[in-house]
Chain A
Amino acid sequence: MSSSVEEPLDLIRLSLDERIHVKCRGERELRGKLHSYDQHLNMVLGDVEETVTTVEVDEDTYEEIVRTSKRSIEMLFVRGDVVILVSPPVRTT
């Protein structure tokens, strides 16, 4: 019963204790181990790598300059309202 997938959140439950990818508002992406979540998609992730992407337009050439900055965080609570999508790890089964 506990391993069946009936509603979307069940897919996230199966990702507990696995590394997941979370896309957040503000061009932020997180990769980390899912320790906990709730119905709002508040989450606690461990060993997180955050990637922030910024796009700047060059004043003269109007070229778009894409910059990414990364940082690592040991343990992070993420508020659910900034979450856009959650992607579970690739499974072979």
Chain B
Amino acid sequence: MLFYSFFKTLVGKEIAVELKNDVALTGTLHSVDQYLNVKLTDVQVVDAERYPQLGAIKNCFIRGSVVRYIQIPSADVDTELLQDACRKESAQGK
């Protein structure tokens, strides 16, 4: 639940999602759920010339399991808060 809560704080922010098939998408985080599925709006495909079939995508849902990385604007992350939350969750015997 830690990262679910974390991504909820990033709703409305610009993120870049890199998938396991090397496709990279940037967009505004619209919503996230417990599986870390994400919905993006204002989607732009990175390296669009390589993936012409994805050029028309404006909004999309991405299944959490196909995500490799998500790049986050570091200005929007309180790293101390994140570390404290992480220590708390590990203390709960998870």
Contacts and interface: CB of A to CB of B under 8 A. Distances in A.
B42 interface: no
A18 B72 CA distance: 19
Contacts, number: 75
Interface residues of B, number: 27
B55 interface: no
A77 B69 contact: yes
Interface residues on A, range: 20 to 34
Contacts of A2: 87, 91
Is chain B's interface secondary structure helix, strand, loop, or mixed overall? Answer: helix
A44 B82 CA distance: 9
A81 B72 CA distance: 19
A26 B64 CA distance: 18
A75 B36 CA distance: 17
Interface of A: 2, 9-10, 13, 16-17, 24, 26, 35-39, 42, 44, 46, 73-79, 81-82
